[in-house]
Chain A
Amino acid sequence: MAIATHDSRIVGKERFVRATPVAELPAPVAMTGVIGWVRASLFAGPLNTILTVLTVLLLIWLVPPIIDFLFVHAVWTGADREACLPTAEHPEVGACWAFVRDRFSYFIYGSYPIPERWRVDIFFAMLAVGIFWLLWLEAPRHDLGALYFFVVVPIVSYILLTGWPLIGLRAVDTSLWGGVLVTIVVSWVGIVFSLPIGILLALGRRSNMPAVKLFSVIFIEFVRGVPLITVLFMASVMLPLFVPDAYSPDKLLRALIGIAMFASAYMAEVVRAGLQAIPKGQYEGAMAVGLGYWQMMYLIVLPQALKITIPNIVNTYIGLFKDTTLVVIVGIFDFLRTVEVSRIDPKWAAPTTSATGYVFAAIFYFIFCYGMSRYAKSVEARLGKADRR
């Protein structure tokens, strides 16, 4: 064969080699398009086929009953349990959404006095503006946004929510707060305090002053080593013993202190990871131009470190948001607790009330947490793009 080719080249008459390419054939039908995709991703090999069939069966077994429960057999209106009890005509009762509708304002505000609830609405609105401002990366003046979110909103909303009789806002005791309001307040306070404290702790842990470092390490490892429940217990049971009688903090405040401590320790580790990712040259460059420690951190290191940790910071907040449910252990009525209390209410005692309450709560938490995690992912993707440039 080789000789033949050789020969043909010499002779130049008998050509075994094509001079023009053959026109491309379309790929076999079975390998492209919908069919190809189905083959490759669903029925590649016998094991894969079996798994696909099993999965489909599982979905058939799971999905229709869920849809039936949530929509088809669901009860949308009604004044009390009668609406959600199975009857002869409707032997199957799905979700009792009427219960959620009836309790909706309780889920949002807890026992916050009805005439004062506009204050809570304003608080939510202010918070939404701040979050939007900070999270939307193209928004102008992030520095003002941070000032607004970390300083203005806390002060204004504190006055707004607890009341200030001098300016005509009736005092509202924190024992009346409940529902989504408490969930948001607790997680937001965790956010506002954990970031600055976490940064300080992270810097402390990387500091070359042994006492500062030791303190930071002990605090971080201690808090991270115990369950949140015990931190809350400590804040609620022991804190009052550690301060003099007259300064005993309010029950909600104690839980907030516990949450802030807990979140700070976790935030410190996230920030530390960011600090470690900054190349040493940045530190040395900053020192070379004569910046002091705080200037170096504030102007050079932290802006870079925080930017790359945004996804992890958001993930920490997702965890924090979910963990707020544990404050019930110290007797605070967060959103989940209001759902729990309502589902035990005899007025709505029906077979599906509990499940409806849980589904509703799950949807609420899912929307918030999933939204945050999507945001973290998108930022991560953007940062990745910027780095590849």
Chain B
Amino acid sequence: MSIAQEGGPPKVALIYDPKVRSIAYQVVLVAIILFLAYSAVRNAADNLARAKIASGFGFWNQTAGFDISQTLIEYSAQGGTYGRAFWVGLLNTLLVAAIGIVLATIVGFMVGIARLSRNWLIGRLAGGYVELIRNVPLLLQLLFWYNAVLKALPDLRDSWTVFGNVYLNNRGFFAPYPIFGEGIGLVAAAFVLGVAGAIAFRIWARRRQERTGEQAPVGLVALALIVGLPLIAFFIAGMPATLEYPEKGRFNIRGGLEILPEFVALLIGLVLYTGAFIAEVVRAGIMAVSKGQTEAAGALGLRAGQTLKLVVIPQAMRVIIPPLTNQYLNLTKNSSLAVFVGYPDLVQIFTGTVLNQTGQAVEVVMITMAVYLTISLVTSMAMNWYNARIALVER
């Protein structure tokens, strides 16, 4: 052992110096990772070259040649490229995720609050729903729903219909869909204006309430601005829209708005599944708000609904937001199970058909992973920002 020097730390052998050790560990780790990465890349290059598999992203602009059952942007088998198919799939994923998130939030909040209800029956029912859904795999639920949706809906011949314009059958849901003509820009502008006006009014109302304690009917005014303004603009522009009606053909219904049964099954499955998890998050959040808050609100004369809306939920949100974000991301990632029910999402189109037609596994899987990673990172950043905004300001 070395002799301690005056004023300095005891001198130790180099091998026992924590700093040296730490650096050594890291150098070893980095070396190993670099080495593994290098050999993986070299092996892949070797394997690909030996098998003469094309690599690179040249396939992006090649003609795809296959059909997709739901396209939000224009796409056709002869005109569309693999790149275009990618965008179609991505948009379909985002569509189901966005609608799913909204609906799952509604279901989750309703069930979560219902679980805490003083009504025994409702509490139990909500609890049973949560336990049942959470303990059965999502894939099984999706298969069940797809099967159930197809089974419950009638054949084309016996479609359920309203006024001969709206159809529901095992090919999907069909309804008239507006086609906009010239002048629709005015309506869009009015809509933007309405939204901006509503936000401005809310800020003003808030300030006034803080100053004077007077409340303003924010909801009504906002509704009038957001719906009313575009409506007025619509009439001023001379009603630049025509409805496209679905038409029944020999085999199928064409035109208008079309919602695929695959989409519905996927949506039901995702919403009910994620809703059960959100319900638990909401329940935990509400329970984290101390009972004194509710009692104080009661003492001030707030009704139960107001207490929930004005006192409990705003405080519970602080606890709810982080796990809620996780659930939103889970829903988005779980939408990749679309491949099992035939809904053309990103995974089904891109890692399914495109990978198979081009054979370029590495590129395709990498792109798909990058997309989901980006969605995850962007969502968590947005949520972090929101979280920081509503966090308790300690004085």
Contacts and interface: CB of A to CB of B under 8 A. Distances in A.
User: Do A and B interact directly, with beta carbons closer than 8 Å?
Assistant: yes
Interface in B331-384: 333-334, 336-337, 339-340, 347, 351, 355, 361-362, 365, 368-369, 372-373, 376-377
Contact of A225 (B117, B144, B377): B377
Contacts of A128: none
Given A212-B26, A322-B136, A322-B137, A41 B119 contact: yes
* Secondary structure of the B contact surface, majority rule: helix
A233 B365 contact: yes
Contacts of A322: 135-138
Interface in A44-67: 44, 48, 51-52, 55-56, 58-59
B119 A52 contact: yes
Contacts of B369: 226, 230, 234
Interface of B: 22, 25-26, 29-30, 33, 40-41, 43-44, 46-48, 117-122, 125, 131-132, 134-140, 143-144, 147, 329, 333-334, 336-337, 339-340, 347, 351, 355, 361-362, 365, 368-369, 372-373, 376-377
B137 A323 contact: yes
A298 interface: no
Contacts of A59: 125
A215 B31 CA distance: 12
Interface stretch (A5-13, A110-118, A274-282, A359-367): A359-367
Nearest to A367: B135
Given A369-B136, A370-B131, 11 more contacts: A41-B121, A44-B119, A51-B122, A212-B25, A225-B376, A227-B336, A228-B333, A242-B41, A318-B135, A362-B144, A366-B135
B305 to A, nearest CB: 10
A264 interface: no
A323 to B, nearest CB: 7
A215 B368 CA distance: 22
Contact of B44 (A228, A241, A362): A241
Nearest to B273: A322
Given A41-B118, A55-B121, A238 B361 contact: yes
A352 to B, nearest CB: 10
A243 B351 CA distance: 21
A329 interface: yes
Contacts of B25: 209, 212
Contacts of B143: 336, 340, 358
Interface string A186-229: 00000000000000000000001111100100000010111111
Interface in A355-389: 355, 358, 361-362, 365-366, 369-370, 373
Contacts, number: 144
Contact of A373 (B33, B125, B135, B336): B135
24 contacts: A42-B119, A48-B119, A52-B119, A52-B122, A211-B26, A215-B33, A226-B369, A227-B333, A230-B347, A237-B365, A238-B361, A238-B362, A241-B43, A242-B41, A243-B43, A326-B337, A328-B340, A329-B339, A336-B137, A358-B143, A358-B144, A361-B140, A362-B144, A370-B131
Contacts of B334: 227
Contacts of B355: 237
A229 B372 CA distance: 11
A325 interface: yes
A64 B46 CA distance: 64
- The interface centre, meaning the residue of A209, A226, A362 with most chain B CB atoms within 10 A of its CB, is A226
A40 interface: yes
Nearest to B355: A237
A324 to B, nearest CB: 8
Nearest to B368: A230
* Secondary structure of the A contact surface, majority rule: helix
A44 B118 contact: yes
A103 B337 CA distance: 26
B349 to A, nearest CB: 13
B209 to A, nearest CB: 28
A238 B336 CA distance: 19
A322 B140 CA distance: 9
A354 B337 CA distance: 20
Interface string A321-362: 011011011000000100010000000000000110010011
Nearest to B40: A242
A245 interface: yes
A226 B143 CA distance: 22
A312 B22 CA distance: 31
Given A226-B333, A243-B43, A51 B135 contact: no
Contacts of A318: 135
Those 9 A-B pairs whose CB atoms lie nearest each other, nearest first: A369-B135, A225-B376, A41-B120, A211-B26, A322-B137, A227-B333, A242-B40, A227-B336, A237-B361
A331 B282 CA distance: 38
A244 interface: yes
B125 A230 contact: no
A210 B147 CA distance: 51
Contacts of A354: 147
A316 to B, nearest CB: 13
A284 to B, nearest CB: 16
B365 A234 contact: yes
Contacts of A238: 44, 361-362, 365
Given A41-B118, A225-B376, A362 B140 contact: yes
B324 to A, nearest CB: 16
A336 B118 CA distance: 39
A51 B44 CA distance: 62
A376 to B, nearest CB: 12
